[in-house]
């Protein structure tokens, strides 16, 4: 069996990898099935498929008669789990900080974010492992939308949103993780690349209208702190993968619950 972390040969039931120290490196014989999904365990494809599906659904919910536009309405996004001051403080739906990152406000918005995720997701998985990559993605989204909601509530100029969606908070989390990886491992080119992209995209956020700069800032901070806690110099453990799966399941439950609550209110 091939260790899912470092690629050396290990026994199916070996408790640890003799090379990198990963626990249960053969994943009890299921390692080939997991490896067939790719280094990211299929997460990038899951995000791509789910965000496109939810985007189409938001357009359907926004239709006027038989006419369907390219940008969903604010009400449709709130039904599906948008975050921001209105859902969190107005409706008391604090869990939407988990779901908002899977929604998008227009074709350009979803196109750019999906492209960034498909480019950066596999790279983060190569550096941290699939489990920790998903944890960074989730934590950055939560911290980004939480900061955005609080800043709007506190009426801080240029920051915060009444209603906010998008995967860019998690994307900035990936950039924050790259910056910490560069500092922790001494890979200056990785850290500099992450910081340069963050600065460029951050400046663009102030130039382009409608951008949630607070979510970007919070996502970057969340990604950096998540990387600090998870420590890229240590091998990924099986409990990281378990925690990642739990994050996805909790997000799915939050999405379903939000739709159910919204339909109950509208009904």
pLDDT > 80? residue 11: no
pTM higher than 0.85 = yes
- In percent, the amount of the chain with pLDDT more than 90 equals 58
Alpha helices by DSSP H, listed for 186-237, are 188-207, 213-230
Q: What's the pLDDT band for 204 if we cut at 50, 70, 90? A: confident
Catalytic option among 104, 109, 216, 240: 216
83 is catalytic: no
Q: Which of 34-38, 240-244, 261-265 has the lowest mean pLDDT?
A: 34-38
CATH fold label, 39-266:
Rhomboid-like fold (1.20.1540)
Alpha carbons within 13 angstroms on the beta-carbon side of residue 221 total 13
**Which tens digits make up the pLDDT trace of 192-203?**
989 898 998 888
Residue scoring higher pLDDT (214 or 158):
214
Burial class (CB in 10 A: 0-12, 13-18, 19+), 249: exposed
3-state secondary structure of 175: helix
Average confidence score pLDDT of the chain: 87
**Left if phi > 0, otherwise alpha if psi is -120 to 50, otherwise beta: which for 41?**
left
Torsion of Cα atoms, 111 then 72 then 45 then 166, to 10°: 70
The pLDDT assigned to 171 comes to 97
The pLDDT assigned to 142 comes to 97
Q: Which of 53-57, 61-65, 227-231 has the lowest mean pLDDT?
A: 61-65
Q: What's the pLDDT band for 28 if we cut at 50, 70, 90? A: low
Compute the average pLDDT of residues 151-157: 87
pLDDT > 60? residue 153: yes
Residue scoring higher pLDDT (1 or 31):
1
Q: Tokens 């009426």 map to which residue?
A: 155
**Which tens digits make up the pLDDT trace of 83-137?**
999 999 999 999 999 999 999 999 999 999 999 999 999 999 888 988 999 999 9
Catalytic option among 168, 170, 180, 240: 168
The pLDDT assigned to 46 comes to 92
Closest to 142 (Cα-Cα) out of 94, 70, 200, 108? 94
Q: Are 246 and 238 in contact (CB under 8 A)?
A: no
168 is catalytic: yes
Domain limits, the chain: 1-36, 39-266
Q: What's the pLDDT band for 31 if we cut at 50, 70, 90? A: low
């Amino acid at each position: 069996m091939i260790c899912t972390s470092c690629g050396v040969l290990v026994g199916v039931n070996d408790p640890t990898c003799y090379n990198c120290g990963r626990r249960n490196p053969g994943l009890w014989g299921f390692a080939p099935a997991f490896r067939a999904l790719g280094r990211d365990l299929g997460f990038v494809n899951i995000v791509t498929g789910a965000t496109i599906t939810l985007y189409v659904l938001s357009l359907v919910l926004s239709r006027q008669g038989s006419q369907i536009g390219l940008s969903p309405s604010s009400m449709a996004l709130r039904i599906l789990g948008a975050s921001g001051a209105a859902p969190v403080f107005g409706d008391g739906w604090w869990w939407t900080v988990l779901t908002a990152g899977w929604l998008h406000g227009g074709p350009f918005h979803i196109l750019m974010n999906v492209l960034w995720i498909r480019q950066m997701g596999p790279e983060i998985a190569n550096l941290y492992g699939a489990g920790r990559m998903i944890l960074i993605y989730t934590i950055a989204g939560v911290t980004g939308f939480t900061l955005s909601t609080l800043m709007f509530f506190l009426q801080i100029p240029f920051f915060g949103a009444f209603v906010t969606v998008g995967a860019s908070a998690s994307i900035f989390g990936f950039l924050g993780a790259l910056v910490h990886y560069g500092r922790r491992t001494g890979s200056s080119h990785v850290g500099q690349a992450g910081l340069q992209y963050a600065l460029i995209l951050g400046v663009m956020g102030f130039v382009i209208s409608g951008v949630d700069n607070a979510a970007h800032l919070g996502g970057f901070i969340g990604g950096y702190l998540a990387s600090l806690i998870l420590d890229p110099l240590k091998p990924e453990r099986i409990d990281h993968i378990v925690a990642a799966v739990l994050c996805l399941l909790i997000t799915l439950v939050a999405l379903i619950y939000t739709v159910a609550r919204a339909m109950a209110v509208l009904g």
